[in-house]
């Protein structure tokens, strides 16, 4: 009992020593770690509403609306009487751009003038201009939009005067293993290597792959090349095609209607059967698009790979009297006929009476 009394007295003395007024000592809590900004760190899963904008308009966040109702910003955007619903896709409005007025002062852009004069391509002409290699009337120019008068202005490249070239239009019968490029580092024989008598820079209108042969146009007239090659002008090119296997009517129907290739569906082809054999089929195929190796890819898709392909007609122009590797200049009326067909929207291809 005495021990208990002494212990009780010691305990009472300790309490009195801690707090003279006899109150309980305060229990110290562990110190809170604070973030560098002075606020306590967020716990996982904890979101402080005052740190989040009111994205939903439901009354939570910085921009508060009425509890359970839309925020002011959302209500203003929707307008009165409109309830929140599924988000609708907005249609994209395309504003047509007016075509620029035709320039009637006879001037040309400098890069176009250099290209049409046989100096180089338009892309290379831009590099010449920016590089300061071109002068106009004795003054160097580096502006790509510079326009010049071919008849009055003195244009020079590296000190040599540029002369306006006469337009050239050539029909060439390309053999196999000849490439349609002007690259100077090309090891194989090029189409332009067959034309040593033609002065100035000329180029092929479109391309025929290395294994294909037949008609191709060569010119230095960019507008003419655009009208002949671009699909929107609808000039038809006709090919004599030999494919492997006996092509049935169902597959011909697919080829005529359009076949899906990697870049999309083809616009269809006009196909006439010349002859059907047991293991091969001879066809005449007319197309207006001219995608890269289009006919070969179409029949490969139909499981009838192409054995040989020869372009025999471009609009009204044919191979008549033109042997392999031979060429001739087009007559003025032939050039005019091609341009007329492309302007009027015709294709220039012959209409076959029967497909069989």
Over residues 263-276, the pLDDT tens digits come to 888 888 999 999 99
* Residue 60 placed within a domain: no
Both 299 and 156 in a single domain? no
* Residue 225 placed within a domain: yes
* Residue 198 placed within a domain: yes
pTM of the model: 0.60
pLDDT confidence of residue 184: 86
Domain limits for position 191: 169-344
- Given pLDDT bands bounded at 50, 70 and 90, which one contains residue 9? very low
Q: Which long-range contacts (CB under 8 A, 24 or more apart) does 141-147 make?
A: 141/110, 144/110, 144/111, 145/109, 146/109, 146/110, 147/103, 147/107, 147/108, 147/109, 147/110
Both 214 and 324 in a single domain? yes
What tokens does 22 get?
């006899």
Q: Report DSSP state, residue 200.
A: S
286-298 pLDDT, tens per residue?
A: 998 878 889 999 9
* Residue 334 placed within a domain: yes
Q: Is 204 helix (H, G, I), strand (E, B) or coil?
A: strand
Residue that finishes a domain, picked among 161, 179, 198: 161
* Residue 80 placed within a domain: no
Both 197 and 327 in a single domain? yes
The C-alpha atoms of residue 322 and residue 314 are separated, in whole angstroms, by 14
Q: Is the pLDDT of residue 284 over 50?
A: yes
Both 311 and 255 in a single domain? yes
Determine which of 234-238, 253-257, 349-353 has the lowest per-residue pLDDT on average. 349-353
Residue that finishes a domain, picked among 133, 161, 189: 161
Q: Over the chain, what is the mean pLDDT?
A: 77
Query: Higher pLDDT residue, 246 or 120?
Result: 246
Mean of pLDDT values over 4-12: 49
Both 205 and 337 in a single domain? yes
How does DSSP assign 243-290, residue by residue? EES---HHHHHHHHH--EETTEE----EEEEEEE-SSEEEEEEEES--
Both 333 and 256 in a single domain? yes
Q: Is 241 helix (H, G, I), strand (E, B) or coil?
A: strand
Determine which of 61-70, 109-118, 170-179, 242-251 has the lowest per-residue pLDDT on average. 61-70
Both 144 and 176 in a single domain? no
- Helix residue spans in the chain (DSSP H): 2-18, 72-78, 110-116, 122-130, 222-229, 249-257, 294-301, 332-344
Helix and strand totals (H; E) in the chain: 8, 17
Residue that finishes a domain, picked among 140, 161, 182: 161
Q: Is the pLDDT of residue 121 over 90?
A: no
From the candidates 154, 177, 193, 209, give the one annotated as an active-site residue.
209
- Given pLDDT bands bounded at 50, 70 and 90, which one contains residue 16? very low
Both 149 and 272 in a single domain? no
Q: Can you give the CATH number for the domain in which 135 is found?
A: 3.10.290.10
pLDDT confidence of residue 42: 55
pLDDT confidence of residue 251: 92
Q: Is the pLDDT of residue 207 over 60?
A: yes
Query: Higher pLDDT residue, 193 or 95?
Result: 193
Both 277 and 246 in a single domain? yes
Both 116 and 201 in a single domain? no
pLDDT confidence of residue 175: 96
Query: Higher pLDDT residue, 122 or 195?
Result: 195
The C-alpha atoms of residue 308 and residue 239 are separated, in whole angstroms, by 10
Query: Higher pLDDT residue, 164 or 125?
Result: 125
Which of 176, 196, 177 minimizes the C-alpha distance to 327? 196
* Residue 17 placed within a domain: no
Which of 277, 268, 267 minimizes the C-alpha distance to 247? 277
pLDDT confidence of residue 97: 40
Both 249 and 313 in a single domain? yes
- Given pLDDT bands bounded at 50, 70 and 90, which one contains residue 355? very low
Query: Higher pLDDT residue, 351 or 317?
Result: 317
Distance spanning both ends of the chain, measured CA to CA: 129
- Given pLDDT bands bounded at 50, 70 and 90, which one contains residue 96? very low
- Given pLDDT bands bounded at 50, 70 and 90, which one contains residue 158? very high
Per cent of the chain over pLDDT 70 is 67
Is residue 209 flagged as an active site residue? Answer: yes
The C-alpha atoms of residue 71 and residue 54 are separated, in whole angstroms, by 7
Both 143 and 184 in a single domain? no
* Residue 326 placed within a domain: yes
Q: Can you give the CATH number for the domain in which 182 is found?
A: 3.30.2350.10
What tokens does 181 get?
């490029």
Structural domain count of the chain: 2
* Residue 103 placed within a domain: no
What tokens does 31 get?
């110190």
Q: Tokens 């910003």 belong to which residue?
A: 73
């Amino acid at each position: 009992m005495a021990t208990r009394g002494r212990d009780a007295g010691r305990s009472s003395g300790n309490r009195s020593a801690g707090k003279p007024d006899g109150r309980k000592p305060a229990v110290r809590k562990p110190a809170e770690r604070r973030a560098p900004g002075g606020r306590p760190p967020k716990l996982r899963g904890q979101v402080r509403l005052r740190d989040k904008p009111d994205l939903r308009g439901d009354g939570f966040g910085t921009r508060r609306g009425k509890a359970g109702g839309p925020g002011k910003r959302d209500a203003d955007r929707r307008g009165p009487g409109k309830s929140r619903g599924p988000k609708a896709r907005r249609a994209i409005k395309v504003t047509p751009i007016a075509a620029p007025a035709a320039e009637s002062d006879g001037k040309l852009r400098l890069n176009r003038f250099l290209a049409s004069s046989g100096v180089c391509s338009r892309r290379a002409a831009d590099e010449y201009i920016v590089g300061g290699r071109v002068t106009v009337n004795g003054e160097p120019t580096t502006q790509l939009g510079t326009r010049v008068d071919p008849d009055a202005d003195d244009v020079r490249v590296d000190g040599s005067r540029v002369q306006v070239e006469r337009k050239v239009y050539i029909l060439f019968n390309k053999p196999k293993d000849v490439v349609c490029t002007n690259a100077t580092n090309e090891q194989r024989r090029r189409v332009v290597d067959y034309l040593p008598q033609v002065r100035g820079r000329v180029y092929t209108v479109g391309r025929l792959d290395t294994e294909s042969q037949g008609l191709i146009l060569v010119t230095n007239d960019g507008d003419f090349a655009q009208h002949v090659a671009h699909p929107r002008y609808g000039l038809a090119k006709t090919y004599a095609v030999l494919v492997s296997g006996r092509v049935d009517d169902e597959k011909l129907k697919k080829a005529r209607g359009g076949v899906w290739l990697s870049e999309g569906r083809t616009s269809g082809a006009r196909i006439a059967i010349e002859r059907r054999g047991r293991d091969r089929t001879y066809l005449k195929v007319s197309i207006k698009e001219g995608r890269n190796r289009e006919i070969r890819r179409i029949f490969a898709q139909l499981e009838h790979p192409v054995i040989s392909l020869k372009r025999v007609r471009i609009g009204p122009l044919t191979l008549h009297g033109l042997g392999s590797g031979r060429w001739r200049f087009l007559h003025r009326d032939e050039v005019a006929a091609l341009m007329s067909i492309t302007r009027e929207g015709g294709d220039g291809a012959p209409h076959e009476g029967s497909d069989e």
